[in-house]
Structure 1
Amino acid sequence: MDNKLLPPYTMNMSLSIGRELPGRLYVQASYVGRLSRRSLVQVDVAQPVNFTDPKSGTNYLTAVREMIRLVKAKTPVEQVPVIPWYENLFPGAAQAGLTATQRLYLVYNGRAPARWMAISPFDTYCKPACTIYGPYTFFTPQYYALGTWMSVGNGNYHGMQWTVRKRLSQGLMMDFNYTWSKSIDLSSRPERRGISYSENLMINSWDFSQHRAVSNYDATHMWNANWVLELPVGRGRKFLGSAGKGLDALLGGWQVSGLYFQSTPLPATVESGYYPTNWNVPAWATQIKAVPKTHVSKNAPQVAGGSGPNIWADPKLALASYDFTLPGEAGQRNGVRGDGFWNVDLGVMKRFVMPFSDRHSLQFRWETFNLFNSVSFGHPHLDISSPGSFGKLYYSRSSPRQMQFALRYEF
């Protein structure tokens, strides 16, 4: 456990202004803010060390990025120049007419893009050679990962909220709410999930700022409404106000209620499928150029043939916007927006008063969930290491339209 662990805390801010309008309407505008500090995040304290060569003054991440540039350029091994960091720390790797840099270049070339994995065999098994300090210069001999809680997280939420409320009058009661907000943090994973060595640890324990992005639950715009409307038909109402008991029993007393919710898409992360920075936690992919705008397509061509629902009209073009992440980097978190969500529920109710007694009534209810049978997809497949289905949508977050009917006798 971190000996500097501190209790988390939040700071809440709000400012509201409201006004009563004619027609029993009330309008309110609010600013709501919440700042979290010292949030608990899970850190891998056994992450491989960014070792600095005392002779050249160069650290591992600088040296390996230079090596990776050579790998990406497909440089012939005999043209690979000397990198002092490798020559100073791995002199035993030089053999068969190859410099230490050239010999280790072959290892990296065969294990890309999992480039932290490339250093594992010659740090733990001395293949082809260990450093001059012996094995486990970078890795710890006891743990492949060691999750520890640290109070280093933080987050900011700022939102503008509008509310329009109509109090019951003329048979109508209604609430409408709109929120425009943004939430940013280092990690959105809840503490109750405990330590997990595959999904909950921070990718880069040496630089937490690389994880800063919009929160997993960030929805830029949200709308919701609810209403109850008594239809103005029947005895004592605007239409057919003088209707007889029979006609009023049939047409009067109907009530319509409903719920409406809509939100813009939640963020999603493009995965790399490899472990360039942390031995046990895969990095996210890195965006290298502008990403096409997401728009759910029902029958987009897949990267590896076939077609189907996709968040891009051209998944191949979107895939070309990402690359595998370099060692020492976490990649891009929550850089893509998936599919939004909207839903309408509607209820119709009618109360029939029994002709023999006003104390007896029969209530009929007809409720429809997802009235328009709208479809909202869950997160798409976003992993550049399996590009064939990149951007593909596999499941729906919404349920199909359902109806239920009820009769209730009251006395």
Structure 2
Amino acid sequence: DVRHNFVLAANYELPWGNGKRWGSNWSGVTDAVLGGWKVSAIFQARTGFPITVQNSNRRSLQGTRSTEWPNCIGNPVPAHQSITSDPNAPNDSKWLDITAFQVPALGTFGTCGTGIATAPGYNNVDASLSKRFKAGGARYLEVRAEAFNLLNHPNFGPPGRDINTLQTFGIITSTVGNPRVIELVAKFFF
């Protein structure tokens, strides 16, 4: 359940070359090299997924069952929520306020529900620059440079959610997606 999701896709033919705003009187060779380029991009931004804090110690004494919850005794979102991988960082700089949770008494179920906090959001820009070179008739060669995660921006995974794993509880230790990837593509259409 991502509350907000925004995607913008755009294609733009650069205004250079024959029949365009600039370079309309270029020679055939100049136009073949400099004219007819297209820029494309996709921008994605979304809020984070809901996360559920877990208690892996099986305090309910109900045998093997799915995830159990701890007790909620405060606001799980700290005042200065940030992304840190340091387990010794001050509590108010972690993604989850670990003091907002408590292990339930033996033989009882925890009071926290599902999706009580939200993981970090995600944003990304992919882009390409492409050009088609005519090869006679309906044939053409398309060359393209593609960049995925163009800005090389890290997107972070959810924090550790098990209150019994103190080294990682409330701390973000992973990223989602890849670093920047650049591809060069050539295709011949006939």
Shift of 1:276: 3.4
Shift of 1:311: 10
Relative contact order higher in (CA < 8 Å, ≥ 6 apart): 2
2:134 aligned partner:
353
Instruction: Specify which of 73, 79, 83 is matched with residue 288 of structure 1.
Output: 73
Q: Distance in 1 between matches of 2:158 and 2:138?
A: 53
1:253 and 2:39 correspond? no
Runs of 4+ aligned residues of structure 1 deviating over 6 Å after TM superposition are: none
How do residues 7-406 of structure 1 correspond to structure 2 at under 5 angstroms?
A: 218-277=1-60, 278-281=62-65, 282-291=67-76, 292-293=78-79, 295-298=81-84, 301-302=86-87, 305=88, 313-314=93-94, 318-326=97-105, 327-329=108-110, 331-354=112-135, 357=136, 359-406=138-185
* Higher-helix-fraction structure: 1
Show structure 1 runs of 5+ residues with no match.
1-217
When residues 397 and 338 of structure 1 are mapped into structure 2, their CA distance, relative to the original with a 3 A threshold, is same
8 A contact 1:294–1:338 mirrored in 2: no
When residues 245 and 295 of structure 1 are mapped into structure 2, their CA distance, relative to the original with a 3 A threshold, is farther
Give the CA RMSD over aligned residues.
2.6
Q: Distance in 2 between matches of 1:294 and 1:273?
A: 27
Query: TM-score, length-normalised on structure 2?
Result: 0.83
8 A contact 1:347–1:367 mirrored in 2: yes
Shift of 1:298: 4.1
Shift of 1:388: 2.7
Figure out how many residues of one structure are paired with residues of the other and give that number.
Answer: 185
Q: Distance in 1 between matches of 2:133 and 2:92?
A: 52
Q: Distance in 2 between matches of 1:372 and 1:333?
A: 34
Structure ID, larger Rg: 1
Query: TM-score, length-normalised on structure 1?
Result: 0.41
SS at match of 1:246: helix
1:106 aligned partner:
none
8 A contact 2:94–2:170 mirrored in 1: no
Q: Distance in 2 between matches of 1:408 and 1:335?
A: 49
When residues 236 and 320 of structure 1 are mapped into structure 2, their CA distance, relative to the original with a 3 A threshold, is same
Show structure 2 runs of 5+ residues with no match.
none
Shift of 1:330: 5.2
8 A contact 1:271–1:283 mirrored in 2: yes
Q: Distance in 2 between matches of 1:372 and 1:283?
A: 39
8 A contact 1:294–1:337 mirrored in 2: no
Cα distance per residue 1:77-97 (max 9 Å; x no partner): xxxxxxxxxxxxxxxxxxxxx
Cα distance per residue 1:267-313 (max 9 Å; x no partner): 111112232333323421121022314733245x41xx4x6xx9961
Cα distance per residue 1:231-259 (max 9 Å; x no partner): 11111111122222122112110011122
8 A contact 1:219–1:264 mirrored in 2: yes
Cα distance per residue 1:357-409 (max 9 Å; x no partner): 45553221111111111211222212222223222222222111111112223
8 A contact 2:69–2:109 mirrored in 1: no
8 A contact 1:325–1:331 mirrored in 2: no
